[in-house]
Structure 1
Amino acid sequence: MPLSDTSVRNAKAQDKALKLFDGGGLFLFVSPAGGKLWRLKYRFQNKEKLLALGAYPDISLKDARKKRDEAKELLAKDIDPAEVKKEAKATAAALELEMATTFEAVAREWFSKKRHAWTPGHQKKILSRLENQLFPILGAKLFSSLEPGDFLAAIQKAESRGAIETAHRLAQLCGQVSRYARIVGHTRYDVAAGLTEALTPVQTNHYATITDPAEVGHLLRAIDEYTGEPSICFALKVLPFVFVRSVEMRGAEWSEFDFEAATWVIPAERMKMKRPHTVPLARQVISLLNDLRNTTGSGRFLFPSLFSASRPISDMGLLNALRRMGYAKGVMTIHGFRSMASTLLNEQGYRADVIEAQLAHGEKNAIRAAYNHAEYLPERRRMMQEWADYLDGLKTNKD
């Protein structure tokens, strides 16, 4: 007797598997666990075979009968319905794989693997370049179909609006994603190689700085005389002595300082090279920090924002202070304190390796970098004190 919707719905699990036949080889398989599965028993080339048609109630009795009839039509044409199902499944899987290898999918895969080695700020910057400048043009395209011209068309959008450096950064980003795609098998070669050859060269603009000793003295006096937000004032006073990067300076926390050892250890996550960096503190810096402790010592940051103690001052705050002192963009920048120290220390004959170690510039060999970090520390400590004394001399010598 053919099945009915009611008999299918009311079928109960038993100790043993139950088969409820509908006709034409179609039956409902009821497992001891209660699952209800549609099956079709048929013969093809004198062999008995079984075809899974789906689970009830996702597949109703009416749907199951339709699938049975479609299978019978294939059998009438001497076509095995199981093979047709297998081919359809393979096609769907291939399409799904194809959709998973679009430029956007591959780029997000690459980003998820690399992001943990980057600062939150760098993660945000890379993701922004992908989402706002590359995905709108390349995102939906299959990686295997991309040609150099596709990448070039995307990055030349930035070049056409005059953002030459951005275009070069986008070319570099495309290259990183493409090399990853080649390694994991999404493409056979680095299709984004050599893109910068077709771009306008970047005109390198060095950070504006002051290296004339007399002008350095004027700058230090201007900083001492500047009246403004305490965090900004103290940060500008300390910065010439330690010449660290702005992000390292602004994010300084009291827990990073050892006043007895006169050292400041900047944690790896705030360093560009992702390695902890030790800054020997001259007597002048210790004195400034002791004064600062009376103002911000009860909080987390040395230089908290005026608007919220839970975050540090901004780079713009420091920059605006320089501008108010009369130092225009082309004269002095926050990064310029590093260039100032590098130039003058080299002129005074300090060893280049020691200066580079104090500037925390990248050392390609990690073992050598760790060795230099420890090996140069006594020499760096002496250099930093002599540098502080030198700056004090420039500041007091008004002639």
Structure 2
Amino acid sequence: MPLTDAAVRNAKPGEKPTRLFDGGGLYLEISTAGGKWWRLKYRFNGKEKRISLGVYPAIGLKDARERRDKAKKELAKGVDPGEARKAQKAATLDRAANSFEVIAREWFARQKPGWASGHADKIIQRLEKDVFPWLGGRPVAEIAAPELLTVLRRIEERGAHDTAHRALQNCGQVFRYAVATGRAERDPSGDLRGALPPVKHEHYAAITDPVKMGELLRAIDGFQGTFIVKCALLLAPMLFVRPGELRLAEWSGFNLEKAEWRYLVTKTKTEHLVPLPTQAVAILRELHALTGQRQHVFPGRDPHKPMSGAAINAALRRMGYDTRTEITGHGFRAMARTILHEELQVKPEVIEHQLAHRVPDTLGTAYNRTKFLKERRTMMQQWADYLVCMKQGAQVIPLPAQG
């Protein structure tokens, strides 16, 4: 007799596992603990086999019968439903193993050792926030250009146009890695070339007028904040390194006798050398008396950690400067690059090497910490002297251009 919902619901466990048959090979197996499983008994190539059709009550009598009928149709076509399930499960596992997120995290893990920590953090956060929620579970080989574009449009809608372009670039890198490792056949991101409107990049706010620069230097000289932050402010325009590199400076990298500072460029992980003008050495010697026994030149509230990344900009705002439109910590680099070239006639390649920018030479060397070292020493002292004159409001006569 076919089973009824009431019979299934009221079935009680016995001392041994019991079976209630519904017909067509479908039966309900009841364990001694009371668990109820739907089973299907069938024959394939002369052999008796069984497969599970689910657990009651998650799978009711009606659902179990539908699953039985589906299996019967497969048998009628010469397909073993048990083997078909195994193949489907394997395919599902394979799709999960080759999902966009799995491939992206694998690519990220391989690339991360060669990146600065800040750069790596931005990439993985961008993927986790803007890409994985929509594409993470999709098989990487099945993602098409329109689906990727939908994700990028979602980023654009909140006004993050630059992030959308960067997300497209990162996705393209993931797809190309998938192609290279045999998990995809092509990179769909290439089909989106021109689909996103170009981004107008804004430069860091910087003061490049000598008169206004003198006003800024006098404001720094009169800064009423902590001595540590004031020293950082005094050195920022003089050494014009990246703000993060100044903030993270460690005493172990300084040789005040040789007037040199060596450190690893966070962006490229290459060694860089900064010749120190006499004014910088004087500031550092004075600061050494306060922080010289610590790791960081500019420690923060926690003496074991460097000062906050917002300290320089906060100090500039405290002095009345708008860090969005007038000057920012990073803007000291643009200030030095512009005035050194236009006012002091220093050769651009010398300035670029001191900025630790990529400047390939005839041998293809992108970075060379000792290139133009003699000229750079002269330039750094000339620049520091120039800043002193500007702060005092004196007129500076440029030296002859370096040969």
SS in 1 for 2:202: coil
Name 1:319's counterpart in structure 2: 313
Q: In structure 2, how many angstroms separate the alpha carbons of the residues matched to 1:311 and 1:227? A: 23
Q: In structure 2, how many angstroms separate the alpha carbons of the residues matched to 1:118 and 1:171? A: 19
CA contact (8 A) 1:217 1:398 kept: no
Q: In structure 2, how many angstroms separate the alpha carbons of the residues matched to 1:165 and 1:288? A: 39
Name 2:19's counterpart in structure 1: none
Q: In structure 1, how many angstroms separate the alpha carbons of the residues matched to 2:367 and 2:201? A: 32
CA contact (8 A) 1:178 1:191 kept: yes
1:297 to 292, 301, 311: 292
Q: Which has the higher helix share?
A: 1
1:74 to 38, 44, 54: 44
Name 2:384's counterpart in structure 1: 388
Residue identity in the other structure for 1:76: G
TM-score, structure 2 length as denominator? 0.75
CA contact (8 A) 2:277 2:380 kept: yes
CA contact (8 A) 2:251 2:297 kept: yes
Q: In structure 2, how many angstroms separate the alpha carbons of the residues matched to 1:367 and 1:310? A: 42
Q: Deviations over 1:350-378 (max 9, x none)?
A: 11111110000124579643774323111
Q: Would you say 1:246 and 2:243 are equivalent positions?
A: yes
SS in 2 for 1:373: coil
TM-score, structure 1 length as denominator? 0.76
Name 2:393's counterpart in structure 1: 397
Per the TM alignment, residue 259 of structure 1 is displaced from its structure 2 partner at its CA by 1.2
Per the TM alignment, residue 140 of structure 1 is displaced from its structure 2 partner at its CA by 1.1
Quick check: 375-384 or 283-292, which moved more? 375-384
Q: In structure 2, how many angstroms separate the alpha carbons of the residues matched to 1:249 and 1:189? A: 43
Per the TM alignment, residue 94 of structure 1 is displaced from its structure 2 partner at its CA by 3.6
SS in 1 for 2:306: coil
Q: In structure 2, how many angstroms separate the alpha carbons of the residues matched to 1:256 and 1:392? A: 26
CA contact (8 A) 1:168 1:196 kept: no
Q: Would you say 1:104 and 2:101 are equivalent positions?
A: yes
Name 1:152's counterpart in structure 2: 149
CA contact (8 A) 1:238 1:285 kept: yes
Name 2:256's counterpart in structure 1: 259
Q: Deviations over 1:6-61 (max 9, x none)?
A: xxxxxxxxxxxxxxxxxxxxxxxxxxxxxxxxxxxxxxxxxxxxxxxxxxxxxxxx
Identity among equivalent positions (%) equals 42
Q: In structure 1, how many angstroms separate the alpha carbons of the residues matched to 2:284 and 2:108? A: 40
Name 1:117's counterpart in structure 2: 114
Q: In structure 2, how many angstroms separate the alpha carbons of the residues matched to 1:204 and 1:297? A: 40
Residue identity in the other structure for 2:378: R
Structure 1, gaps ≥5 residues long: 1-66
SS in 1 for 2:44: helix
| CA gap 1:194/1:302 in 2 versus in 1, 3 angstroms | farther
Q: Deviations over 1:251-296 (max 9, x none)?
A: 000000011211100124xx21220110000000000001111221
Q: In structure 1, how many angstroms separate the alpha carbons of the residues matched to 2:219 and 2:304? A: 29
Name 1:308's counterpart in structure 2: 302
1:183 to 172, 180, 185: 180
**Superposed counterparts of 1:333-344, under 5 Å:** 333-344=328-339
1:286 to 281, 284, 291: 281
| CA gap 1:365/1:130 in 2 versus in 1, 3 angstroms | farther
Q: In structure 1, how many angstroms separate the alpha carbons of the residues matched to 2:362 and 2:263? A: 18
| CA gap 1:215/1:290 in 2 versus in 1, 3 angstroms | same
Q: Deviations over 1:122-166 (max 9, x none)?
A: 222211111111011111111111111111111111101111111
| CA gap 1:365/1:230 in 2 versus in 1, 3 angstroms | same
| CA gap 1:106/1:370 in 2 versus in 1, 3 angstroms | closer
CA contact (8 A) 1:257 1:263 kept: yes
**Superposed counterparts of 1:11-26, under 5 Å:** none
What RMSD over aligned residues (CA atoms) do the two structures have, in Å? 2.6
Name 1:346's counterpart in structure 2: 341
SS in 1 for 2:134: helix
Name 1:237's counterpart in structure 2: 234
| CA gap 1:210/1:228 in 2 versus in 1, 3 angstroms | same
| CA gap 1:369/1:189 in 2 versus in 1, 3 angstroms | same
Name 1:274's counterpart in structure 2: 269
| CA gap 1:370/1:330 in 2 versus in 1, 3 angstroms | closer
SS in 1 for 2:274: strand
Per the TM alignment, residue 207 of structure 1 is displaced from its structure 2 partner at its CA by 1.1
Q: In structure 1, how many angstroms separate the alpha carbons of the residues matched to 2:104 and 2:366? A: 33
Residue identity in the other structure for 1:342: R
Per the TM alignment, residue 87 of structure 1 is displaced from its structure 2 partner at its CA by 7.4
